[in-house]
């Protein structure tokens, strides 16, 4: 069997390994899911990862690069014809052009195939010649994972919980005010339905901007190609009778349609096929927004990660073809901090996903937490101020482009200094402030073979892919 395969591979030669459908079918494929809430950094991560796998001089932490076993990397047509392609070239041009800017963020699911020609390790490696490993990167909004929770709920249950949340969240009052004079049992009028859906979306957007992450239905914020469709034209109403043709009845029906025609197909077509997953988290952004945002993020992470325990949900159990066996939780934008603070950010990331991670571990997946920057926009600097040594990061500000050196505040040694007040519902951090500056991507002059600068992107790649490149 082995000899047959070896002889076959040698016989085929290297160049045409991917040249026919049958052979491509035999090559190993890794489907890497990249998710995270809106603005967590998915687009920047994928762009930089691919650029750094194409030009690998900055990837020593990926063993297959360090040992020289990756002989070539090239982009190929993706296997799924109906999924939009991740627009790598446009995004890379944005980040690495003469006047660099941040690319447009993820709005929907997209995909990109990068193929790596790798010399295997081990006894027979000399005989078998290089193998081609396809990396299919699937980018999708984390908000869509939260919708999994809707599958277990009826419209009435979801609406009751959503209205309860709206009472305390920014923007909620104006949506609730719209319900004051409304009779849910009255006959449906489409303009009224649309106005309600718009008002509910506006509230979710406000809550999201204020740092709340658990905002369902996920497609209301990131509708993708479904914008304006009836499956997205409903909103929570107070419990009422549901006479035929009424607003309440139609909204309940549309909620069911949303579950069946929007949520389930996403899980079936995309999520169920993922082998490896990275969940990007803007933990610094949440810390900057305050304790409520941190607690909300913690709960949202639990919601997102429950999707990785298929046993929890009968629909998921039925559709999961393979199991996601590695999950990386990455706190992004670590370049906002001096490296001396990175271990603290990692500890906070671990604390944030603690509950969820324990459960995923239980399900057999290998998990890790890390602090990374997919694209390093700053350099480090140490200054003395009033006799005190300050570790700073310097970069050009997104607003106006001026250079600024900046100390975002000291993260605590013990993550509980943040997690406990967050859980207890504190209004603000007691004794510290955490600032976040928005830096523009730095102007780069890349040497041949170099990808864009990053922090620990290579370690992330090693955890996610390293074993498949052996
Ligand atoms: P997405 O919504 O998850 O696709 O998020 P993006 O990848 O578009 O990132 C959102 C924003 O976060 C970007 O526009 C940048 O301002 C910032 N960002 C993302 N990654 C990094 C990073 O590695 N370093 C820095 N400094 N900022 C980043």
Q: Collect all residues with Cβ–Cβ distance below 8 Å to 33 and sequence separation of at least 6.
A: 138, 140, 270, 271, 274, 276, 277, 278, 324
More confident residue, 69 or 8: 69
**Residue 124 confidence class, pLDDT cut points 50, 70, 90:** low
For residue 202, the Cα-to-chain-centroid distance in whole angstroms is 23
More confident residue, 12 or 135: 135
- The residue whose CA is least distant from atom 17 of ligand 1 is 41
Let me know whether 324 and 453 are in one domain.
yes
284 Cβ closer than 6 Å to some ligand 1 atom: no
47 CA: nearest ligand 1 atom: 7
Please state the three-class secondary structure of 147-194 as a single string.
HHHHHHCCHHHHHHHHHHHHHHCCCHHHHHHHHCCCCCCCECCHHHHH
Give the per-residue pLDDT at 20: 39
Give the per-residue pLDDT at 314: 76
Give the per-residue pLDDT at 312: 66
- Alpha-carbon distance 429 to 433, whole Å? 7
Let me know whether 116 and 11 are in one domain.
yes
Give the per-residue pLDDT at 374: 98
How far away, in angstroms, is 313 Cα from ligand 1 center? 32
Give the per-residue pLDDT at 360: 59
46 CA: nearest ligand 1 atom: 7
Which CATH number characterizes residue 112's domain?
3.40.50.300
- Alpha-carbon distance 398 to 158, whole Å? 39
- Domain assignment present for 396: no
Q: Collect all residues with Cβ–Cβ distance below 8 Å to 389 and sequence separation of at least 6.
A: 382, 383
Let me know whether 357 and 459 are in one domain.
yes
Of 9-18, 21-30, 390-399, where does mean pLDDT reach its minimum?
A: 9-18
411: Cα within 13 Å, side-chain hemisphere: 27
Q: Which domain holds residue 182?
A: 149-266
Let me know whether 224 and 365 are in one domain.
no
- The residue whose CA is least distant from atom 18 of ligand 1 is 41
Give the per-residue pLDDT at 7: 35
374 Cβ closer than 6 Å to some ligand 1 atom: yes
Kind of pairing between the strands at 403-406 and 388-396: antiparallel
Give the per-residue pLDDT at 212: 82
How far away, in angstroms, is 440 Cα from ligand 1 center? 10
Q: Which of 231, 266, 301 is the last residue of a domain?
A: 266
pLDDT, one tens digit per residue, over 351-380 is: 998 877 776 565 678 889 999 999 999 999
Let me know whether 321 and 303 are in one domain.
yes
Percent pLDDT > 90 in the chain is 65
44 Cβ closer than 6 Å to some ligand 1 atom: yes
Q: Put the strands of the sheet holding 131-139 in their side by side order.
A: 70-76, 110-118, 131-139, 29-36, 276-281, 326-331, 366-371
Give the per-residue pLDDT at 381: 93
Of 56-70, 295-309, 313-327, 365-379, where does mean pLDDT reach its minimum?
A: 313-327
Q: Which of 239, 266, 293 is the last residue of a domain?
A: 266
**Residue 419 confidence class, pLDDT cut points 50, 70, 90:** very high
Mean pLDDT confidence for 449-464: 98
Let me know whether 165 and 282 are in one domain.
no
pLDDT, one tens digit per residue, over 230-266 is: 899 999 999 999 999 999 999 999 999 999 999 999 9
How far away, in angstroms, is 247 Cα from ligand 1 center? 40
Let me know whether 163 and 57 are in one domain.
no
Give the per-residue pLDDT at 1: 31
Contact assessment for residue 448 and residue 368, using Cβ atoms and an 8 Å cutoff = no
Let me know whether 262 and 278 are in one domain.
no
Give the per-residue pLDDT at 16: 38
| Closest CA relative to residue 165, chosen from 150, 155, 175, 154 | 175
* 135 sits in which H/E element: strand 131-139
More confident residue, 124 or 448: 448
| Closest CA relative to residue 362, chosen from 410, 399, 311 | 311
454 CA: nearest ligand 1 atom: 23
Give the per-residue pLDDT at 313: 73
pLDDT, one tens digit per residue, over 86-100 is: 999 999 999 999 999
Residue 11: pLDDT over 80: no
Strand partners, 368: 328
- Domain assignment present for 296: yes
Let me know whether 460 and 314 are in one domain.
yes
Let me know whether 247 and 284 are in one domain.
no
106 Cβ closer than 6 Å to some ligand 1 atom: yes
| Closest CA relative to residue 37, chosen from 289, 336, 268, 257 | 289
pLDDT, one tens digit per residue, over 392-415 is: 999 999 988 899 998 888 899 999
Give the per-residue pLDDT at 325: 87
pTM over 0.85: yes
How far away, in angstroms, is 86 Cα from ligand 1 center? 16
* 75 sits in which H/E element: strand 70-76
Contact assessment for residue 380 and residue 338, using Cβ atoms and an 8 Å cutoff = yes
Residue 61: pLDDT over 80: yes
Contact assessment for residue 86 and residue 113, using Cβ atoms and an 8 Å cutoff = no
Query: Reduced to 3 states, what is the DSSP secondary structure of residue 53?
Result: helix
Number of domains in the chain: 2
Distance spanning both ends of the chain, measured CA to CA: 20
Alpha helix segments (H runs only) across 378-467:
416-423, 457-465
For residue 186, the Cα-to-chain-centroid distance in whole angstroms is 41
**Residue 13 confidence class, pLDDT cut points 50, 70, 90:** very low
- The residue whose CA is least distant from atom 7 of ligand 1 is 41
Count the helix, strand and coil residues of the chain and give each as a percent rounded to the nearest 5. Answer: 45, 15, 35
43 Cβ closer than 6 Å to some ligand 1 atom: yes
Q: Collect all residues with Cβ–Cβ distance below 8 Å to 425 and sequence separation of at least 6.
A: 291, 292, 295
How far away, in angstroms, is 236 Cα from ligand 1 center? 32
Q: Which of 266, 284, 301 is the last residue of a domain?
A: 266
How far away, in angstroms, is 457 Cα from ligand 1 center? 14
Query: Reduced to 3 states, what is the DSSP secondary structure of residue 133?
Result: strand
Strand partners, 139: 34, 110
**Residue 316 confidence class, pLDDT cut points 50, 70, 90:** confident
Give the per-residue pLDDT at 41: 97
Let me know whether 317 and 456 are in one domain.
yes
Q: Average pLDDT over the chain, rounded to whole? A: 88
Give the per-residue pLDDT at 189: 95
Give the per-residue pLDDT at 6: 33
């Amino acid at each position: 069997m082995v000899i047959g395969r070896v002889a076959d591979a040698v016989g085929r030669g290297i160049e045409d390994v991917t040249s026919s459908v049958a052979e491509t079918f035999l090559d190993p494929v890794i489907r890497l899911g990249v998710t995270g809430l809106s603005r967590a950094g998915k687009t920047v991560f994928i762009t930089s990862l691919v650029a750094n796998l194409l030009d690998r001089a900055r990837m020593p932490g990926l063993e297959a690069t360090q040992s020289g076993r990756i002989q070539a990397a090239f982009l190929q047509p993706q296997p799924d014809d109906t999924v939009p392609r991740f627009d790598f070239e446009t995004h890379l041009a944005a980040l690495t052009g003469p006047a660099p800017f941040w690319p447009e963020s993820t709005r929907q699911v997209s995909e990109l195939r990068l193929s790596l020609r790798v010399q295997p390790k081990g006894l027979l490696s000399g005989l078998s010649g290089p193998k081609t490993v396809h990396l299919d990167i699937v980018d999708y909004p984390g908000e869509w994972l939260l919708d999994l929770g809707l599958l277990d709920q009826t419209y009435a249950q979801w609406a009751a919980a959503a209205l309860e949340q709206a009472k305390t969240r920014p923007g909620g009052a104006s949506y609730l005010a719209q319900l004051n004079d409304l009779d849910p049992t009255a006959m449906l009028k489409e303009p009224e339905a649309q106005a309600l859906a718009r008002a509910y979306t506006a509230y979710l957007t406000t809550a999201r901007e204020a740092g709340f992450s658990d905002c369902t239905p996920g497609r209301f914020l990131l509708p993708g190609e479904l914008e304006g469709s009836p499956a997205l034209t409903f909103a929570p109403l107070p419990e009422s009778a549901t006479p035929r043709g009424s607003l309440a009845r139609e909204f309940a029906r549309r909620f069911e349609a949303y579950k069946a025609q929007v949520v389930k197909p996403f899980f079936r077509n995309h999520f169920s096929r993922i082998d490896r997953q990275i969940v990007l988290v803007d933990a610094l952004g949440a810390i900057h927004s305050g304790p409520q945002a941190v607690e909300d993020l913690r709960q949202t992470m639990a919601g997102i990660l429950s999707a990785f325990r298929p046993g929890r949900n009968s629909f998921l159990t039925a559709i999961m073809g393979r199991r996601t066996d590695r999950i990386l939780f990455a706190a992004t934008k670590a370049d906002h901090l001096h490296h001396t603070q990175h271990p603290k950010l990692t500890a906070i990331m671990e604390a944030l996903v603690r509950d969820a991670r324990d459960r995923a571990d239980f399900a057999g997946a290998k998990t890790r937490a890390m602090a990374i920057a997919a694209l390093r926009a700053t350099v480090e600097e140490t200054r003395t101020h009033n006799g005190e040594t300050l570790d700073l990061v310097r970069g050009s500000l997104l607003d106006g482009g001026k250079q600024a050196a900046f100390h975002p505040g000291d993260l605590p040694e013990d993550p509980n200094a943040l997690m406990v007040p967050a859980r207890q519902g504190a209004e603000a951090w007691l004794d510290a402030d955490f600032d976040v500056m928005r830096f523009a991507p730095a102007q780069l002059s890349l040497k041949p073979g170099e990808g864009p600068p990053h922090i620990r992107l290579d370690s992330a790649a090693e955890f996610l892919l390293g074993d498949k490149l052996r």
